[in-house]
A and B are shown apart, each in its own frame.
Chain A
Amino acid sequence: DQQVKQNSPSLSVQEGRISILNCDYTNSMFDYFLWYKKYPAEGPTFLISISSIKDKNEDGRFTVFLNKSAKHLSLHIVPSQPGDSAVYFCAASSNAGGTSYGKLTFGQGTILTVHP
């Protein structure tokens, strides 16, 4: 049972354009959401996060949007650069049920390719 889903296995974008990566979740107890970025032969690195009390968080070229009613979040990268080419993982956590360590549930990942 995949509680966090990234339905697009891959996305191809032209340099300078906007990249939009999508993520859906089913567990309404999730209250914190993150995006991790992964280059080949490296581990995932934290990119940006958002709490459920917000609907938008921005950090430079990266913005995460959260739509709680739709149980959907998205990552926007503007403008996209070739160095952004990587696998992007969506993750979610909940502090309910005593899991105070913020157990992360990840999606399957989306491969982003930014063409020069």
Chain B
Amino acid sequence: DAGVIQSPRHEVTEMGQEVTLRCKPISGHNSLFWYRQTMMRGLELLIYFNNNVPIDDSGMPEDRFSAKMPNASFSTLKIQPSEPRDSAVYFCASSFIIGGGRETQYFGPGTRLLVL
């Protein structure tokens, strides 16, 4: 049974370039989360989708960041233009939420992004 799949696993790019991170959630899950991990701030929620609809994007840092979920099996996180301070590990997680907020979130392996 495949878990959450993320690609690429590593990305090195130059400042100003567009970066697109991809995520395939666990089949049957109705919720998807994008997180960013940095040494200073730990794991931060960027955006939450439920049934492909963005519900909470309050964690998205600024307009350079955008996320989409065109269908239940695919989501992207785009940074344009990228900046060195965007360097971090980006995780995607999925869950099957039926209400109550106690459902386990399952994380992908992450994408390590380095912006030079």
Contacts and interface: CB of A to CB of B under 8 A. Distances in A.
Chain A interface size, under 10 / 10 to 19 / 20 to 34 / 35 or more: 20 to 34
B4 A101 contact: no
A100 B107 contact: no
Contacts of B104: 46
Q: Give chain A's interface secondary structure class.
A: loop
Interface string A30-55: 00100010000111111001010000
Contact of B42 (A93, A102, A109): A109
Nearest to A43: B107
A100 B45 contact: no
B43 A102 contact: no
Interface stretch (B60-68, B71-79, B95-103): B95-103
Interface residues of B, number: 29
A71 interface: no
B25 interface: no
Interface of B: 4, 31, 35, 39-45, 48, 50, 55-56, 91, 93, 97, 99-110
Interface of A: 2, 6, 32, 36, 41-46, 49, 51, 89, 91, 93, 95, 99-109
* 10 closest cross-chain pairs (CB), A and B: A102-B101, A43-B107, A108-B42, A106-B43, A46-B104, A44-B107, A106-B42, A43-B108, A95-B101, A43-B109
